[in-house]
Amino acid sequence: MPLWLELTLRVAGVLAAFLVLPLVVGQAEHKVMAHMQGRLGPMYAGGFHGWAQLVADGIKFVQKEDVTPREADRPVFRLAPVVALVPYLLALLVIPLGPGDLVGQPLDIGLFFVLAVVGVGVVAVLMSAWASANKYSLLGGLRGAAQLLGYELPLVLAAASVAMAAGTLSLSGIVEAWRPWWLLWQAPAMVVFFVAGLAEIRRPPFDMPIADSELVFGYMTEYTGLRFAFFLLAEYVGIVVIAALTTVLFLGGWQGPFGDAYLGWLWTLLKVFAVSFVIIWLRVSYPRLREDQLQRLCWLVLVPVALGQLVLTAAVRVVT
């Protein structure tokens, strides 16, 4: 196969996943929340259980007027939603779906690359907050910056633990080195990574930068139409990326109970959707953390646990 054709197919596959998987997760969130809260929700769009409601919402956003505040910094204001989306697209490029060539672009430093680009999300938050010329947006942006910069440390430390255990920064290499007993050995790192990942994508109960009861809608207050939809899409893509990273780093990725490499992509997707369900369940089940509680959890709980896990992993590597 010519190189240009192979690259085209890989990029097309990643773009398809980038567009389809967040919609599936978004639809699942609507239905799971409806069932857990005992309400029907929209049931008519598309027929069966309102399966096309998310598509209808997207069409509605496209039709809405795109309003930019008069005092806003227009170029920065308009660019912020794109900056919120692009890091997750780049992350999906290097996350393996299965063994062999089932990855957009294999990198020997894939883990380092993913953690670097996901951290760019704080730039989008600050851009939207500052450029909106709105005090509520600015407060939400400052909260978001403090939260993202704080939780970046336990996220990286937890990922470093499993990378040290596997002896590689390649995401495919980590999956190949993974063993079932790591579910116990690396369990503290997995919990830290998952919780810090929720805070990184600002999902409830870590949604203080939005806090609609306090800040209207935080750094997204002034956004309308398609640009607001881009921020929502970035949230759902963030769920997919964090679920996929948790799957690849701590749950064995494409490895299944039957050892069938041909079904590896299916095991990966099943695990990703299972982790995504947990993320949705946490949104429904737990109230929003206050700012002091959020920072206390980061610095007094997650960081010490991540450091302890890192020391344990280093000791086991030295002994073995």
pLDDT score of 260: 64
Please give the structure tokens belonging to residue 288: 């929003």
**What's the rounded Cα separation, in Å, for the pair 312 and 301?**
17
Judge whether residue 23 has pLDDT over 70: yes
pTM: 0.90
- Contacts of residue 293, defined as CB under 8 A and 6 or more positions apart, other chains included, come to none
- State the Rg of the chain over Cα: 20
**Average pLDDT of every residue of the chain:** 85
Write the CB contacts of 163 (distance below 8 Å, at least 6 apart in sequence): 111, 169, 174
Per cent of the chain over pLDDT 90 is 22
In this structure, what token pair is assigned to residue 276?
A: 């995504």
Q: Per-residue confidence at 274, pLDDT binned at 50, 70, 90?
A: very high
pLDDT at residue number 275: 94
Mean pLDDT value of segment 26-48: 78
At residue 271, the pLDDT reads: 92
Residue identified by tokens 């369990």 is 187
Pair of tokens at residue 72: 């806003």
Q: pLDDT tens digits, residue range 118-136? A: 888 888 888 888 888 888 8
- Buried/exposed code over 30-47 (b: 16+ C-beta within 10 A; e: otherwise): bbbebeeeeeeeeeeeee
Give the pLDDT confidence score for residue 244 in this predicted structure: 93
Say which amino acid occupies 312: L
- What is the pLDDT confidence band of residue 261, given thresholds at 50, 70 and 90? low
Is the pLDDT at 259 greater than 70, yes or no? Answer: no
Dihedral (Cα; 119, 121, 126, 127), 10-degree rounding:
130
Interval 173-219: pLDDT, tens: 899 888 888 888 899 999 999 999 999 888 888 888 887 777 777 78
Residue 276, pLDDT > 80, answer yes
What are the tokens at 31?
């239905």
Q: Where are the domains of the chain?
A: 3-319
